[in-house]
Structure 1
Amino acid sequence: MSGHDGRSARKIDLTDVNWRKSTRSSGNGACVEVAFVGNSVAVRDSKETRGAALVISAAGWTAFLDGTRFGRSGRS
């Protein structure tokens, strides 16, 4: 398996990680959960806890959070 840049994607074991939801979550089921795994951050749908998780670098997660805080959509 390889990523979009041609590098090999590595499998990260998420079996025993500590998933957490935002304290601002309203409980309506439209939430994501995150888990910090080394230098990576895993993100999953809180309704589909056995489903797939997106794993990104800690730097990528920080950039995402900064973009949401400052209203950047990432669109041109």
Structure 2
Amino acid sequence: MVQPNTVRVGHKGAKATWRKSSYSGSNGDCVELAELGNSVTLRDSKDYQGPVVSVGWRAMTTFVSALKSGHMVAGPA
């Protein structure tokens, strides 16, 4: 699997349109993402002011492809 070439962690001050994951349950444990130029930014939907993680598009598409193909499986929380 290709490793992301850029990962930034911190607060994002840019205006973004956040979307919840289509797999989000009704318990409020959700991941939201926003598309910001050349990156995808993720955050915990319960903590709007909290930290975010930004990764490049290539890293994000590699990650999603690995999930869809079964190369990565979600474990117990």
TM-score, with normalisation over the residues of structure 1?
0.72
- Change in 2 beyond 3 A, CA 1:14/1:34: farther
Runs of 4+ in 1 over 3 A off after TM superposition: 11-15
The answer to which structure, 1 or 2, has the higher relative contact order (CA under 8 A, 6+ apart) is 2
TM-score, with normalisation over the residues of structure 2?
0.71
Structure 1 unaligned blocks of 5 or more: none
Bigger radius of gyration: 1
Equivalent pair of 2:12/2:51 in contact (CA under 8 Å) = no
How many residue pairs were aligned?
67
Once the two structures are superposed, the pairs formed by residues 1-76 of structure 1 within 5 Å of their partners are 13-73=12-72
Give the percent of matched residue pairs that are identical in Structure 1 and Structure 2.
34
Select the structure that is richer in strand.
Answer: 2
What is the CA–CA distance in structure 2 between the aligned matches of 1:66 and 1:21, rounded to whole Å?
A: 19
How much is the aligned-residue C-alpha RMSD, in angstroms?
Answer: 2.7
